[in-house]
Structure 1
Amino acid sequence: MELPEVVSRSEWLVARKKFLAEEKEFTRRRDELNANRRRLPMVLVEQDYVFTGPDGPVRLLDVFEGRLQLVVYHFMFAPEWDAGCPNCTWLSDDIGRLDGLHEMQTTYAAVSRAPYEKIAAYKEQRGWTFPWYSSAGTSFNYDFHVTLDESVLPLEYNYRTKAEWEALPSGGLVQGEQPFDLHGMSCFLRTGDAVHHTYSTYGRGTDSLGFSGTVIDLTALGRQEPWELPAGRIPAPDHHADGCH
């Protein structure tokens, strides 16, 4: 395990103030990115997706629960699995009260391909209260590129084609039989009864949802994951940790 150098308090303070300048620049840049994200165009969702929830069929429009915005976490839970993805589970364990989002006219929900009966059982086992729907029987997961199956659509994940993934040092995208489930997050905006897709992110892009991950990133030991490189080294481009591969 690689530990930080032990120095005097005065030396530490010099290093900390130097790093503070980097943090402030990162915050400024993050604010710019958030503003640019809000300026992205949006696409009308023409498909009338019908999910399954605790009370039966639920249209995508209904998942908004009457609010203006919807954030969907594409939770990795394939129909043949008996439990959800461990990484998605770890992230979801951090989700608390959603009242703050609701006050800002935003609904949070998870969607998976697993049948609703499996979702409901796993949700109860974990003690979660956030809405979680089954997209089984719909093209939702395929259309938003979190279920990959070349017999349905050409492979694409995180805005790269299969050929682009195979050209990377990390190699191919799919490691297993298709259909192959991955995770992501998508945002939607409602205008009347019209639903618009405004944003999707995948891979490490969902890190922002996790309280534990954000907190542990502040510590000396970090996440202690294989992909997390020692201090001072820059990860290779496109190195990512997508969870249940």
Structure 2
Amino acid sequence: MPHDQIVPPETLVPAREMAARNTARVPNESEAYRQARQALLAEEIELRRHIERVAAQRRALPPGAIVDKDYRFEGELGPVDFAGLFGEHTTLVVYNYMYGPQRKRPCPMCTALMSAWDGEARDIEQRVAFAMVARSPIERLWAFKQERGWKALKLYSDMSGDYTRDYASPEDADIPALNVFTRRDGVIRHFWRDEMGESADPGQDPRGAPDVMPLWTVLDLTPEGRGTDWYPELEYR
């Protein structure tokens, strides 16, 4: 079955029934643990299904706004226009990361995310174009790329700030933003943007939905969770 084909909910096996078929066990687990784990498994199945439903709803969005400005960037290989970011692809994913000229060092959170993406960039680019944009000069971005040992990420400087003000922050603030664009029949359109805003629930740090940071995906599997006072750092001692 294709990855993007969604089975109608009424045809799905109920999550609790599917969980009941689970035969996984670990040595010395208690009956109380097993009962709680089976109940959690049913919720995990529902979560997976909800993620699929949301992804299908996202793919079904109407055509987005036309991109009619001539955005220009400075890449590691020289100047490039917005269409040039697509390369041979019809879809483009652009991440604005926090490394503006006012920062002495890049945002540690953005750095942690991009370090994970660097290992996936070649796989991602089999399907779509993938660009990292910041407001610092390209020489500064390239130097930090070398420092971190990034190999696959493609970095671009938005020196004019035109793109950043339109798709990240109208005030040209140094904030992250994730946008997706399409190019069909020569027309470039905006497809989707993370609209995090003030969407975090009480007691939570601001986060997108979906949360694209692999770090949190792993920590969410642990009893400690994400914590409330820990963030990635550029260096650990």
**TM-score, scaled to structure 2:** 0.74
Counterpart pick for 1:187 among 169, 176, 180: 180
1:102: how far off? Answer: 2.5
- What is aligned with 1:98? 121
Match of 2:215 among 197, 207, 212: 212
Q: Distance in 2 between matches of 1:52 and 1:204?
A: 29
**Residue aligning to 1:137:** 160
Counterpart in 1 of 2:143?
121
* Pairwise CA distance, 1:212: 2.1
Structure 2 counterpart of 1:65, one-letter code: G
Q: CA deviation at 1:220?
A: 0.9
Q: Give % identity.
A: 32
Richer in strand (by share): 1
C-alpha distance 100-110 of structure 1, shift in aligned 2 (>3 A): same
- In 2, are the aligned partners of 1:82 and 1:118 still within 8 Å (CA)? no
Stretches of structure 2 that go unaligned for 5 or more consecutive residues are 1-27, 197-205, 232-237
Deviations 1:8-52 (A, max 9, x none): 621111001011111111111111110001111211100110101
Show CA shifts across 1:114-162 (max 9, x none). 1111111111111112001011113111111x3352xxxxxxxxxxxxx
Give distance in 2, aligned partners of 1:98 and 1:8: 40
Cα contact 1:148–1:181 (8 A) shared by 2: no
Q: Indicate the SS of the match to 1:45.
A: coil
How many residues end up aligned between the 2 structures? 192
CA distance in 1 between counterparts of 2:109 and 2:192 reads 22
Q: CA, structure 1 residues 206+54, in 2 after alignment: closer, same or farther (shift >3 Å)? A: farther
Cα gap change, 1:97/1:18 in structure 2, threshold over 3 Å: closer, same or farther? closer
Q: Which SS does the other structure have where 1:218 is aligned?
A: coil
Q: Which residue of 2 aligns with 1:52?
A: 74
Q: 1:26 aligns with which of 25, 30, 47?
A: 47
Unaligned runs of 5+ in 1: 1-6, 150-178, 228-240
Displacement over 3 Å in runs of 4+: none
Q: How well do the aligned residues superpose, as a CA RMSD in angstroms?
A: 2.2
Structure 2 residue corresponding to 1:74, chosen from 96, 102, 116: 96
- CA drift at 1:207: 6.0
SS at match of 2:182: strand
What amino acid sits opposite 1:214 in the alignment? T
- C-alpha separation in 1, matches of 2:134 and 2:102: 12
Q: Are residues 113 and 206 of structure 1, via their aligned partners in 2, closer, same or farther at CA, if it must alter by over 3 Å? A: farther
| 1:225 aligns to 2:228 (yes or no) | yes
Alpha-carbon distance in 2 for matches of 1:132, 1:207: 23
Secondary structure (helix, strand or coil) at the match of 2:125 reads: helix
- d(CA) in 2 for partners of 1:148 and 1:223? 31
**Residue 225 of structure 1 aligns to which amino acid in structure 2?**
T
> Residues 49 and 138 of structure 1 are in contact (CA less than 8 Å); yes or no, is this contact kept in structure 2?
no
